[in-house]
Amino acid sequence: MYKNYVDTSADTFPLITLVGPPNSGKTTLFNYLSGKKLKTVNYPGSTVDYSVCRIQEKYNINANLLDSPGIISLIPGSPDEQVAVSSLYAHPKFGVPDIVITTIDASQLSRHLLLTKQLLESGFRVVVVLTMTDILKKKGLQVSASRLKAELNAPVFVVDGRTGEGIPQLMNKIGKLLKKDQLNTDRKISAITEKKDFLKFYGEIEKIENKVLVPDPDKKKIAKANRKLRILTDPSAKKDCYKIDSTTVKIDKYLLNKNWGLFFFFIIMSLTFSSIFWLAQPLMNLVDSFFGMMNVMFSGLLGTTWYSDLISNGLISGTGAVLVFVPQIAMLFLILGLLEDSGYLARGAMLVDKPLSRIGLNGKSFVPMLSGFACAIPAMMAARTIPNRKERLLTIFILPLMSCSARLPVYALLIAFIIPPENSFAGGVVLASIYLFGIISSILIAGLINKFRDKIIKAEDNSSFILELPAYRLPKMKVVVHNAFISTKLYLRKAGPIILAFSLIIWLLTYFPNYNPEIDAKDLSKVEYVKLQETERLSGSYAAMLGKFIQPVMEPIGMDWRVGVSLISAFAAREVFVSSLALIFKVTDDDDTHLQNSIISAMRNARVESSGEKLFTTATIAGLIVFFIFALQCISTIAVSRKETGGWRIPVLQVVIFTSLAFCMTFITVNGLRFIGIQ
């Protein structure tokens, strides 16, 4: 799901590579030309890997298009920039590009021309694309494409990758260029490092800038006739394009305020996490009653046969128990998307840079940490934007502590056990506290490891925080909703089969060998008889036999083998825990039309077999929540951690430390709560 899209069917086609500074519209253009829907975000550094795709057939160009992470010069400063530079010079699969399209944000002309000039001097065949001309227009200015073309001696096109404006002309030129043979394929690296070279380069760029920036024709009409065709040579007019967005400055006066900035940060983050719960509640009820109804219908229809049990228990309850919580996952994606599109992320990074740098992290750890709440896998990849290696590794190390979306169904069920669903306000607060607890733990652990590691690794890398703060803008609802929908769909496609498969496996393990226990039926009513029979069957099942092994480990933390089996199956996918509880505690005994309610009432009735005490109490539920906060139960996370850190050391440490920590913290929570009198 989180692999980047690489169409490997045809690597013999010519290659067109998109490079440009961060946030200059590369991915937007890539999506338009390829018909793909990669995510675009208002944060410098949202693309951290390359993606390759064929250009859509309608353009009549047989070529691969490669999108790359943003770079500001040809000397990479962080792993994501390294990906972009390598894909220019020595892409392992596609080689050297035939054409390089470089995007320039027209409102950032002088800064973005630096890379273009480097590319031209390095001998690439460059096509320049001017984006964001609408923003420049608001400042009453325009870039003259023909003049820029003459200055750079390279084709220049004005394009809006959101509307497709200018695309036909661009593609026409590319088609023609591809028919011509390239003169040479030798590429040098024209990378400037010396101050005098910067001065020379920027001097040339400013000359170009003066020549190509012209007043916008709409504005021109209003202006005096004699100013009509004047080139902007006087510095006061040029200053217009250096004006920064005044609304952004005003908003930042509050959101980045020295005293209030952190307060607003805290409010925004808490609202983000608590609103997941509030907003999803109505939708959740709907899905919930749907599965409840299905269950009642099927068990009524099929009677008490093994296949009725398979369908209503194994399939509907097992998968439904998780699907009930999908609205919450969708809300999480939606809210994170809104935050990403607003431009606030870069501010968040700036606000937390100082405290995070104290514990060996970086302000740039903030965005990976936040996306860790959706999934640790893209989050670990997002850590590529952190230039300092030590800070990057430490960020990756603590990312599994960010409660990912797979944990949401587990938390939601456990919260619903303690807090009635009517009180969704309290539920939201508890959920936000769980997230906060995860964050605080991760900070403590990072601090500890940082202290410890300074003794082991002596190498001092330069720690740096240089980040562009993009202008604020109203999130585009249509795009954000669409992205959240796609993410949810991908989530279902990835997790769905695993949940289904494990529901079946657990059903098999709990249903078989299915012998008929002998029960003295004399003093029992029919209902009691069936109940007792089922209990006896479960304790003789294969699941119970397996469970006996883990019983000794589960007892100290107040659980029994049934919870143990569920915890182990959660290693396949954390959500399976919920399916497993639903199956093992046989929720269909109930006629409740709400699936969630029947799971909860089944949990309430569950008793520890040896002592007869209630199995799920406030203490054990809190213990389970703590277990899920710490435990690293995700195989894909381990694999990505290995890839991103370049070895097994960190992923192995993560599994050992987080899993043992989960057990210890659960032990402390359950017994601590009992000690102070909370059962």
Q: How many residues bind ligand GDP (CB under 6 A)?
A: 21
Contacting other proteins within 105-124 (CB under 8 A): 107-108, 110-111, 114
How long, in residues, is the chain? 679
Site pattern 118..147 for ligand GDP (x: CB under 6 A): -------------xx-xx------------
Residues 43-102 within binding reach of other proteins (CB under 8 A)? 72-73, 75, 77
Per-residue x/- marks for other proteins, 161-190, CB under 8 A? ------------------------------
The Cα-based distances of 626 to 434, 568, 622, 663 in angstroms read: 9, 16, 6, 9
Q: Which of residues 441-470 bind other proteins (CB under 8 A)?
A: 462, 464-469
Q: Is the dihedral of CA 277, 279, 281, 285 positive or negative?
A: negative
Q: Least distance from C-beta 242 to other proteins, angstroms? A: 4
CB of 622 closer than 8 Å to CB of 635: no
Which of other proteins, ligand GDP, Mg ion, none interacts with 363 (beta carbon under 5 to 8 A by kind)? other proteins
The structure tokens listed for 200 are: 């020379």
403 near ligand GDP (CB under 6 A): no
Residue 331 CA to residue 477 CA, distance in Å, equals 13
Question: DSSP characters for 149-199?
Answer: HHHHTS-EEE-BTTTTBTHHHHHHHHHHHHHSPPS----------SHHHHH
Residue 373 contacts residue 402 (beta carbons within 8 Å): yes
What minimum distance in Å lies between the beta carbon of 137 and ligand GDP? Answer: 10
Residue 425: both structure tokens together: 């306000």
Dist CA 612 CA 249 (whole Å): 64
Residues 480-519 that bind other proteins (CB under 8 A): none
Is 70 among the residues that bind ligand GDP (CB under 6 A)? yes
The letter for the amino acid at 128 is V
Q: Is 248 in the site for other proteins (CB under 8 A)?
A: yes
42 binds ligand GDP (CB under 6 A): yes
Q: Which residues contact 572 (CB under 8 A, 6 or more apart)?
A: 498, 502
Return the sign of the alpha-carbon dihedral for residues 533, 534, 535, 536.
Answer: positive
Does 270 help bind other proteins (rule: CB under 8 A)? no
The residues in 25-54 that bind Mg ion, with binding defined as CB under 5 A, are: 26-27, 47
Told to check if 385 binds ligand GDP by CB under 6 A, we report no
For 78, the 3-state DSSP assignment is coil
Q: Is residue 355 close enough to count as binding other proteins by CB under 8 A? A: yes
Does residue 441 touch ligand GDP according to CB under 6 A? no
Partner interacting with residue 624 (select from ligand GDP, Mg ion, other proteins, none; CB below 5-8 Å by kind) = none
Our CB check for ligand GDP shows the closer of 25 and 363 to be 25
Give the pair of three-digit tokens for residue 66: 């490669």
Minimum distance from residue 351 beta carbon to other proteins (Å): 6
Which partner, other proteins, ligand GDP, Mg ion, none, binds residue 110 by CB below 5 to 8 Å per kind?
other proteins
CB 321 within 8 A of CB 576: no
| Residue written as token pair 């657990």 | 506
Per DSSP, 132 falls in state -
Cα–Cα distance for residue pair 399/376, rounded to 1 Å: 6
Per-residue CA distances from 43 to 48, 69, 147, 454 (Å): 12, 12, 31, 31
In angstroms, give the least distance from the CB of 105 to ligand GDP. 8
CB 204 within 8 A of CB 153: no
- Provide the minimum distance between the beta carbon of 20 and other proteins in the complex, in angstroms, as a whole number: 14
What Å distances lie between residue 24 and 28, 37, 159, 161, 269, CA to CA?
Answer: 9, 17, 12, 11, 27
Please tell me whether residue 22 binds ligand GDP under the rule CB under 6 A: yes
At 456 the three-state DSSP class reads helix
Which residue stretch of 19-27, 370-378, 438-446, 556-564 sits at the interface with Mg ion (rule: CB under 5 A)?
19-27
Pick 46 or 666: Cβ nearer other proteins: 46
Name the site residues for other proteins (rule: CB under 8 A): 72-73, 75, 77, 107-108, 110-111, 114, 193, 195, 198-199, 202, 241-244, 248-249, 252-253, 256, 258-259, 261-262, 346, 349-351, 353-355, 363, 462, 464-469
**Which parts of this chain interact with Mg ion (CB under 5 A)?**
26-27, 47
Q: Name the residues that contact ligand GDP, by CB under 6 A.
A: 20, 22-28, 40-42, 46-47, 70, 131-132, 134-135, 160-162
